[in-house]
Amino acid sequence: MTAEIFDLIVIGAGPGGYVAAIRASQLGMKVAVVEERATLGGVCTNEGCIPSKALLDSSEYFALSRDRFALHGIVIDPPRLDLSRMLARKDEVVKKNTDGIAFLFKKNGITLVSGRGRLAGKAGDLQQVAVAQEQGSDPIGPKGNEDRGNPEVLRGKRVLLATGSKAVELPFLPFDFDTVVSAREALSFAAVPQHLVVIGAGYIGLELGSIWRRLGAQVTVVEMLAKPLPTMDGQVADALLRLLKKQGMKFLLETGVKSGTVQDGRVLLTVAGVSGEEQLVCDRVLVAVGRKPLIDGLGLAEAGVGLDATGRIIIDENFQTTAVGIHAIGDLVPGPMLAHKASEEGVVFAERLQGGKSRVEYEYLPGVCYTWPEAAAVGKTEEELQQAGADYKTGRFNFLANGRARCMDETDGFVKILADKGNGRILGVHIVGPRASDLIAEAVTAMTFNGTAEDLAMTFHAHPTLSEALKEAALAVNDRAIHA
Ligand code: NAI
């Protein structure tokens, strides 16, 4: 038993947990974080957002040098891929980020406890968290027995659950982590696959499919629904589909996978779509059909932490679960499974714990798919507005008419702004195009401050920049675009 009593014990050091811990510590709380990985940052930093973006950038440079440099008057021999160097650089980028978080923990005086944490009942008013050093050596079993060795049990006033999520497996095609893989393994293939089949045209499927396509793999994406990125605006999804097909990715839409067999490093898949059944043979399959909360072994039921019908932890406005003193954020709780949502929840949780009135502006949560071009969105889609019978106006501006996009030779895509017909308030912004991930930030700010299309239209935008496409789309809401 650790004698120290913490104000807050966080289980999980992903973008939700580590940010919550830092903010709580800034606010004067004594904080412990329990993490079973050797490095901090969770899935996002170690095997998700960060390594995938490192490879997306590297593979994009490779594809540019191969396919587009000549257009800019740069003549080189066909570039040669050094995949092991590319992967090593990705690992270096990850290390810089995980080391950075470790530094921040030290700087903020956060106690890091290595091992797997689980809720372990209460001691008076205090919550207990048992920390097992190795999987299987859980010090406090279901019967609460503390006889196994010398368990580390932390005590604190509050516990924050921030253990994140894990990839969903297809029951008939379980991960073997070699030929049938999740995103984690697909970020470290030692060789470019000959034929990669991606199941699921969501964020992971399109991003990782893009990486290996650019590096030379044949890529086939199998998607159950009629469009990729089902939560994005339909026009954005259509445009992205067209552009990814142009890059050589093959899509089988409205198609489900019926069965799969793995033999000698090859996979035979039977897929069924609108035009009947088809067999696919490939050397790697990436299953990217969603993620589910990582709650196994946390002791939720014993602690009285309730789940909703979808398996997410039920919380109130203070992120408190159905058990007093136990809180949860990020992928464990309802809402999109996005790192920046988890981080924001972590900050707001800590501030509300101190009596603050902050809240998460879920309405203005941006989503980005880091393909090239990128797709980014905030607010309502046109389909959602139509379904709600909303009275809205649309302004659209194509990058084709943007000077900077022409300089870059990146003229694919558009910005679309949806605004209330009555008061002009921006209801949604949808971008497919170069650096959409960065451009969407302006829209998020405008919407968070209740901005109107007119506000955006009247704001200076430096020339020549991609951001002028946003200004022009805002002008187009009132049929005033200059360059359209
Ligand atoms: P997703 O929910 O984004 O997409 C899953 C796709 O798989 C959907 O289009 C769905 O219709 C399809 N699908 C489901 N079952 C299928 C089946 N049996 N056969 C064919 N298609 C099927 O999930 P994804 O891409 O696995 O990502 C997981 C989570 O990680 C998401 O919540 C996402 O928000 C997050 N993420 C976000 C990123 C970003 O913000 N750029 C990057 C990577 C992940």
Nearest CA to ligand 1 atom 26: 290
Averaged pLDDT for residues 369-373: 98
Ligand 1 atom nearest residue 202's Cα:
4
CB 311 within 8 A of CB 318: no
Q: Which atom of ligand 1 is nearest to the CA of 369?
A: 41
Atom of ligand 1 nearest to the CA of 255: 20
pLDDT of residue 151: 61
Residue nearest to ligand 1 atom 2, measured at CA: 290
Mean pLDDT across 63-79:
96
Pocket of ligand 1 contains residue 221 by CB under 6 Å: no
* Cα–Cα distance list, 384 to 68, 239, 381, 391, 446 (Å): 38, 18, 5, 12, 20
Mutate to test the pocket of ligand 1, among 291, 332, 370, 438 (most ligand atoms within 8 A of CB): 291
User: Counting atoms of ligand 1 from 1, which one is nearest the CA of 200?
Assistant: 7
Q: Is the CB of 304 under 6 A from ligand 1?
A: no
Percent helix, strand, coil in the chain, to 5, is 35, 25, 40
CB 364 within 8 A of CB 378: yes
Residues 6+ apart with CB under 8 A from 160: 8, 9, 10, 11, 17, 20, 319, 327, 328, 329, 346, 349
Residue nearest to atom 4 of ligand 1 (CA): 202
Instruction: Tell the residue nearest (CA) to atom 30 of ligand 1.
Output: 337
Q: Which atom of ligand 1 is nearest to the CA of 201?
A: 9
User: For all residues of the chain together, what is the average pLDDT?
Assistant: 95
Can you give the pLDDT at residue 134?
65
d(CA 458, CA 472): 10
Instruction: Give 454's contacts (C-beta < 8 A, 6+ positions apart).
Output: 424, 474, 478
Of 406, 398, 397, the C-alpha closest to 479 is 397
Ligand 1 binding pocket includes 15 (Cβ within 6 Å): no
- Say if residue 3's pLDDT is above 70: yes
Q: Which of 200-204, 273-277, 291-295, 311-315 has the lowest mean pLDDT?
A: 273-277
What was the pLDDT predicted at 275? Answer: 86
pLDDT at residue 143, rounded to an integer = 38
Residue 303 CA to ligand 1 center (angstroms) comes to 31
Does the pLDDT at position 28 exceed 60? yes
Ligand 1 in contact with 271 (CB < 6 A)?
A: no
Compute the average pLDDT of residues 263-286.
Answer: 96
369 within ligand 1 shell (Cβ under 6 A): yes
Closest protein CA for atom 40 of ligand 1:
368
**Is the CB of 370 inside a 6 Å radius of any atom of ligand 1?**
yes
pLDDT of 140 reads 45
CA distances from 462 to 222, 449, 465, 468 (A): 42, 21, 6, 7
In short, whether 204's Cβ falls inside 6 Å of ligand 1 is yes
Q: pLDDT (tens digit, 9 = 90+) per residue, 203-224?
A: 999 999 999 999 999 999 999 9
pLDDT greater than 70 at residue 396: yes
What are 122-141's pLDDT values in tens digits? 999 999 999 998 654 444 44
Residue 200 CA, ligand 1 centroid: distance in Å:
6
Q: From CA 60, how far away is CA 66, in angstroms rounded?
A: 10
Q: Is 257 in the pocket of ligand 1 (CB under 6 A)?
A: yes
Per-residue CA distances from 153 to 13, 258, 331 (Å): 18, 47, 25
Element housing 104 (H / E): helix 83-107
Among candidate residues 317, 376, 312, the one with its CA nearest the CA of residue 163:
312
Give the residue numbers marked as catalytic: 463
User: What is residue 78's DSSP assignment?
Assistant: P
Q: What atom in ligand 1 is closest to the CA of residue 206?
A: 25
- Give the model's pLDDT for residue 133: 84
Question: Quick check: CB of 290 below 6 Å from ligand 1?
Answer: yes
pLDDT at 150: 56
C-beta 396 within 6 A of ligand 1: no
Ligand 1 center from residue 177 Cα (angstroms): 18
| Mean pLDDT in residue range 432-458 | 98
pLDDT of 144 reads 40
The pick from 47, 57, 165, 203 for probing ligand 1's pocket by mutation, whose C-beta has the most ligand atoms within 8 angstroms, reads 203
Cα of 204 to ligand 1 centre, how many Å?
6
Q: Is the CB of 365 under 6 A from ligand 1?
A: no
Say whether pTM exceeds 0.85. yes
Dist. CA 466–CA 68, nearest whole Å: 20
Nearest CA to ligand 1 atom 36: 203
The answer on pLDDT for 142 being more than 80 is: no
% of the chain residues with pLDDT over 90: 95
